[in-house]
Amino acid sequence: MKNTFFTQIESYLRQANQWYLETPERSLDQAYKAALKIKSIEDEHFGGKKISAAHSEYGESVISYFKSDLDKYLKTAKLRVAEFKLSRSILNIADQNINRREVDRIANTNPNYSLQIREDPSVTIEKLNFIDTILQKYSINEATKISSALVAIPNQTPVVIERERIEQNGAIASSTSSIKSIAGDEDKVFEKTGVLPRSILGTINRIQQELDPKSEEQILQNYRKSKLKTVVSIRFILLLILVPLLFQQVSKAFLVGPIVDKYRNDEKTEIFLNVNLEEEALVELERFEKQLQFRSLIGLMPELGKEEKEEQIKEKAEELKEEYRQRSADAIKNVFADIAAVAAFCGIILTRKRDIEVLKSFMDDVVYGLSDSAKAFIIILFTDVFVGFHSPHGWEVILEGISKHLGLPENREFIFLFIATFPVILDTMFKYWIFRYLNRISPSAVATYRNMNE
């Protein structure tokens, strides 16, 4: 009896040990099956796209039905992936020094055991990659789960603040749905917590990385990647600046310039492109005439007769004629040269999409690496320059310079209308960006910005 009893206990312990050793593979398979279910729904009902009302013609009830299934499968996949990571971090099956005799004994009771604990690493990686692809498609940054309408008031929950905001606006009818939506978002945030606190999992992962003999190589590899990202980003920025400028200058000098000069050498061609150029020439000619008279009066030059004076004025008029003919030709050349520069810029954007992604990642690292005070300083500098109290003068100079560059008449009414509308629109968009996005990504930076702005 005792032998039978101990044999049964040993059998139970062996089965428990086997179940424990099979936990990573079992969890991974369950997460993989849940991800396959989500992919099946996408392929059958949403054309392979994300499960959303925007990608189908179903009604609200059908979309709600699919989303309930989606939430169920997402919960299963996330929970099983967390279980896989935790069990594998505690007991790395590939590195276990299990007694060979014990393995043989377990294999005798379950022939599939050796296959279960020795699954091909490439299969595991493929499953994890597929699960990550599905989860990332439906993952939302925790910061974006909080409604943009919430105000950061101490000692008040987001639900209470949202209810107060809705009641103040008189929208009582929609308060229930809004509060439920926020509560649902909070539930989704708690779902990401996992089986154990993140600090424990993070500590285990950190210890594993420190004990890993390849950790130093990994650090060097990350440094090389960061260095390569910086070099590629700076090179791409220089490319965006220098290539359009070179295209503008080269096309103006060797392509557009000769063509324009050929057709504007005709004496019948208009000298002035617009009235403003003609007025500038008249003002300069009048100033030259008064200068001759002034210099003769103060004795810097002998008094000129009427014919001599008219002759010098005529020579000055010829000089102004050639000068403004050249300025008009340059304006026409600038138009076509600028078109060539814009085409070169668009060509770079369309053909270097990979560099754009690297540049975006580089800019994110730079921006997020700044302190809150530095972010607030940049925001205040940008707003004061483009939408601040003194910005109208800057916009006026910019618009006048563009008009002269392209040979367009300086329409004061258009300039004043632009200054009265565009900075206001830009300021509204910028405030909306701060309220909608920056407040979620970096609330402390927004608080610092408000304090500095006050």
The residue written with tokens 């997460």 in the block is 31
pLDDT 10s digits, 425-436: 998 998 888 888
Residues 346 and 109: their CA atoms lie apart, in Å, by 67
Residues 23 and 29: their CA atoms lie apart, in Å, by 10
Q: What is the mean pLDDT of residues 203-212?
A: 73
The residue written with tokens 């403004």 in the block is 324
Query: What pLDDT sits at residue 340?
Result: 93
H helices of 91-214, in order, are 100-109, 113-117, 121-138, 158-168, 175-191, 198-211
Residues 293 and 297: their CA atoms lie apart, in Å, by 6
Higher pLDDT, 146 or 265: 265
Dihedral sign for Cα atoms in the order 104, 105, 108, 112: negative
Residues 133 and 25: their CA atoms lie apart, in Å, by 19
Query: What pLDDT sits at residue 349?
Result: 93
Query: What pLDDT sits at residue 1?
Result: 53
Q: What is the mean pLDDT of residues 15-19?
A: 66
- Find, among 124, 101, 93, 103, the residue nearest to 28 by Cα: 124
pTM of the entire predicted model: 0.51
Residue 236 has pLDDT above 90, yes or no: yes
Query: What pLDDT sits at residue 98?
Result: 47
Q: Considering only 18-27, 84-93, 187-196, which range has the smallest mean pLDDT?
A: 187-196
Provide the percentage of residues in the chain whose pLDDT is more than 70: 74
201, 89 Cβ separation under 8 angstroms: yes
Query: What pLDDT sits at residue 125?
Result: 84
pLDDT 10s digits, 35-75: 888 888 887 778 778 888 777 777 777 787 788 888 888 98
pLDDT 10s digits, 223-233: 888 899 999 99
Provide the percentage of residues in the chain whose pLDDT is more than 90: 13
Query: What pLDDT sits at residue 134?
Result: 86
pLDDT 10s digits, 271-313: 777 778 888 888 989 998 888 888 888 878 887 778 888 888 8
Residue 120 has pLDDT above 70, yes or no: no
Q: Considering only 180-189, 314-323, 373-382, which range has the smallest mean pLDDT?
A: 180-189
Q: Considering only 55-59, 69-73, 130-134, 379-383, which range has the smallest mean pLDDT?
A: 55-59
Residues 235 and 334: their CA atoms lie apart, in Å, by 27
DSSP string covering 6-39, please?
HHHHHHHHHHHHHHHHTHHHHHHHHHHHHHHHHH
Residue 341 has pLDDT above 90, yes or no: yes
Residues 114 and 104: their CA atoms lie apart, in Å, by 9
Query: What pLDDT sits at residue 154?
Result: 39
H helices of 352-411, in order, are 353-369, 372-387, 391-406
Query: What pLDDT sits at residue 337?
Result: 93
